[in-house]
Amino acid sequence: MQSSIPVHHEKFYIDGTWQKPATTLRIEVIGANNGELIGSVPEGGQADIDAAVTAARRAVEGGWSESSPAERAAVLNRFADAIEKRGDRLSRAVSMQNGMPLSLAEQLEVGYVVGLLRYYAALAQGLQTEERRHSPLGFDTLVRRKPVGVVGAIVPWNYPVVLSIMKIAPALATGCSIVLKPSPGTVLDCYILAEAAEEAGVPAGVLNWVPGGRDLGAYLVAHPGIDKVAFTGSTAAGRKIAEVCGRLLRPVSLELGGKSAGIILDDAKLDQVLPGLHFAAFGNNGQTCALSSRILVPATRYDEIVEALAELAKSLKVGDSLDRTTEIGPLASAEHRERVESYIARGKSEGRLVAGGGRPRHLARGWFVEPTVFADVANSATIAQEEIFGPVLTVIKYRDEDEAVKIANDSDYGLGGTVWSADSQRAQTVARRVQTGTIGVNGYVLDMASPFGGIKASGLGRELGPESLAAYQQLQSVYLTG
């Protein structure tokens, strides 16, 4: 972020240049820590999306899709360098917008992102796009992997940078171009990314950003110039997007909501579990899709573990997200806090409140909520089934491992989860039985080199790892019969 707050932008980064918006509408960004205006940007209109899609199409057809692996790798590496240089501004911009503790923003929204771009640069370098196969019918076939073309990408506000780069990196590695629509709540960070793209010499039209709301997102999804949609956000929006893409027969990847289980086994060592749960259950103030927000606790150690979870929640330092000692920052917006508080109100009739439940008294401004724990919750309760997306844990008692696995799997979602045990082999055996796209043993860290995504209502397709490249490619078989 520029040194003076609020920061105001007047243009969009489209076609490698800063272009005037088609409308006079503006998006105002309110700081999560204090409710004050921290910036504003133009709000995109349909004509801006049209311009961005046209530029993206020109880029893929004008040579980018035919560029060499070395060229794409160099672009990705230069982009990583340019983002790294802006790391301080970027992490502060994210933190001020959505309340992410600064130390986490530095780690994930900058450090991880830079690593991710370099990882995909290496993958781009080694990309095999043609394979000659001998057919059992006696001739050879050339199997080609071509870039899918122009990607329409839509991201939410909780990890605006990393979720964008999870789409940008494989798209660039495979030779696609992107039109990206960020969430209205987090639009300042994308200007820093655009500035980095410009400095890195990303070819014109390959990366374009048009901020706007859900109507603009819907326009992008259905745009005739889009070849593939990459979406991260709520399950409700994901279903609508999937319907449109189904009608259009347009490839789509969907990273959606979650309500994952953290299974604490009866031999778990609490001094190992509690620091791990700090991120795995409360990470980014609870505004993380894959959090273990349903904690499954063995009946034999129930009271001891509930007490320890309550103590953990009470011990977390809630404060200004820019303060490096803060562990839990504010929620992203006033509306989001209201939503989280309505779940807390509901939880008071569905469980026993053992920590939090209110607003921290020492913070008069900003969208803060105390880290909250409900014990004695039935897995069928609303607070155990619906995604709250705030620092609110529900604790559910189980009798034995079979019942723990059954409860973990009794969810509409299937995104993440964790298993905690002094015996990592035992935890792994339980983890294998949990029906989710990812799961952590004694912790939860997104491995950039392995596929990430969900099953059931948590989505379709995978991001990260070499696997995500396939989502940005289409196959062509050339039969060499004569």
> Cα 203 vs. chain centroid, distance in angstroms?
26
Nearer to ligand NAD, 218 or 422 (CB): 218
Six token digits for residue 128: 């095999």
Residue of the chain from 333, 454, 457, 473 that contacts ligand NAD (CB under 6 A): 454
Site string for ligand NAD, 213-252 (x = CB under 6 A): xx--xx--x----------xxx--x--xx-----------
CA distance 177 to 172: 7
Least separation in angstroms between CB 107 and ligand NAD: 16
Least separation in angstroms between CB 129 and ligand NAD: 27
φ, ψ at 295 (rounded to 5°):
-100, 120
Q: In b/e form, how buried is each residue of 8-44, taking b as 16+ CB within 10 angstroms?
A: ebeebbbbbeebebbeeeebebbbbbbeeebbbbbbb
CA distance 225 to 240: 19
Site string for ligand NAD, 6-45 (x = CB under 6 A): ----------------------------------------
Nearer to ligand NAD, 255 or 370 (CB): 255
CA distance 383 to 345: 10
CA distance 97 to 206: 26
Mark the segment that binds ligand NAD (CB under 6 A) among 80-88, 156-164, 299-307, 308-316: 156-164
Least separation in angstroms between CB 255 and ligand NAD: 3
Q: Is 256 in the site for ligand NAD (CB under 6 A)?
A: yes
Mark the segment that binds ligand NAD (CB under 6 A) among 62-70, 128-136, 255-263, 424-432: 255-263
Q: Write out the binding residues for ligand NAD, residues 272-291 only, by CB under 6 A.
A: 289
- Ranked by CB distance to ligand NAD, the top (closest) residue is 217
Nearer to ligand NAD, 88 or 215 (CB): 215
Q: Is 106 in the site for ligand NAD (CB under 6 A)?
A: no
Number of residues counted as binding ligand NAD (CB under 6 A): 30
Residue of the chain from 56, 187, 273, 415 that contacts ligand NAD (CB under 6 A): 415
Instruction: Determine which one of 255, 327, 370, 463 is catalytic.
Output: 255
CA distance 81 to 87: 10
Name the burial class of residue 213, with classes exposed (0-12), middle (13-18) and buried (19+) by CB atoms within 10 angstroms of its CB.
middle
Residue 304 amino acid letter: E
Name the burial class of residue 331, with classes exposed (0-12), middle (13-18) and buried (19+) by CB atoms within 10 angstroms of its CB.
buried
Six token digits for residue 384: 């155990």
CB 392, CB 344: distance < 8 Å: yes
Nearer to ligand NAD, 45 or 298 (CB): 45
Q: Whats the size of the chain, residue-wise? A: 482
CB 289, CB 257: distance < 8 Å: yes
Residue of the chain from 77, 183, 468, 473 that contacts ligand NAD (CB under 6 A): 183
CA distance 218 to 239: 12
Least separation in angstroms between CB 215 and ligand NAD: 8
Residue the block writes with tokens 């494989």: 170
Least separation in angstroms between CB 455 and ligand NAD: 11
Beta bridge partners of 27: 41
Strands (E), 233-280: 252-255, 260-264
Mark the segment that binds ligand NAD (CB under 6 A) among 90-98, 114-122, 152-160, 275-283: 152-160
Nearer to ligand NAD, 82 or 448 (CB): 448
- Sheet containing strand 392-398, strands side by side: 352-355, 372-375, 392-398, 292-298, 260-264, 418-420, 440-441
Residue of the chain from 44, 160, 170, 258 that contacts ligand NAD (CB under 6 A): 258
Least separation in angstroms between CB 186 and ligand NAD: 9
Site string for ligand NAD, 369-408 (x = CB under 6 A): ------------------x-x-------------------
Residue 262 amino acid letter: G
Angle (CA) 398 399 401, round 5°: 85
Residue of the chain from 69, 152, 257, 330 that contacts ligand NAD (CB under 6 A): 257
Active site residue 255: yes
Angle (CA) 399 402 407, round 5°: 80
Task: Enumerate the active-site residues.
Answer: 255
Q: Please report, as ranges, the residues that interact with ligand NAD according to CB under 6 A.
A: 154-159, 163, 181, 183, 213-214, 217-218, 221, 232-234, 237, 240-241, 255-258, 289, 387, 389, 415, 454, 459
